[in-house]
Chains A and B, each alone.
Chain A
């Protein structure tokens, strides 16, 4: 009884995760701009990875309660991978967005840019229109 309920929860979590990962690919293909593509490609994959790793952790815990020794190892290591994804993915996206803005890529349809001409660091003045 409890095993079937856990299986249904695992399937629902997997469906949500795969749906958001497919949305990430579709948004990366369809959006018009670097920043909107970054929005699609990073947030959707992080959200989908949370749900897929959650389903894998739940399945590992179920296998552990059924007496398999691999289940606990799978659950703990998947939790480690999930923590690594959660720390590294938004940080990398922020670095890419900052690099895109400083290398001179403008958002599509932007009228005013509040960061225009402001060097973020004192030692490195901003290059205008470098490698467009």
Chain B
């Protein structure tokens, strides 16, 4: 009952927030396709990763389910590792 009450209050504003985050991700995708050099594309991918994490958290609170937030934590750590590896590859050093 109480949880239903909260869900009814919360849901539309969080879905609006999710739409705006997806619009921001679309702007980053334009940069990923347009970027003149390779680091530009990596910056775009890193920004997309952070926005996807925030979007997962917002979706988790919109539909009251904790599993999306757990997935967001794991996604944050994996995207950090992938960003470090791509940066190391661009740098051209040894591992």
Contacts and interface: CB of A to CB of B under 8 A. Distances in A.
Interface in B19-34: 20-21, 23-28, 30-31
Interface in A43-88: 45-46, 48-49, 52-53, 56, 59-60, 62-63, 66-68, 70, 73-74, 77-78, 80-81, 84-85, 88
A7 to B, nearest CB: 7
A59 B61 contact: yes
A99 B39 contact: yes
Q: Chain A interface residue count: which class?
A: 35 or more
A70 B64 contact: yes
B43 A96 contact: yes
Given A85-B76, A124-B94, A18 B17 contact: yes
Interface of A: 7, 11, 14, 17-18, 21-22, 24-26, 28-29, 34, 37-38, 41-42, 45-46, 48-49, 52-53, 56, 59-60, 62-63, 66-68, 70, 73-74, 77-78, 80-81, 84-85, 88-89, 91-93, 95-96, 98-100, 102-103, 105, 121, 123-124, 127, 130-132
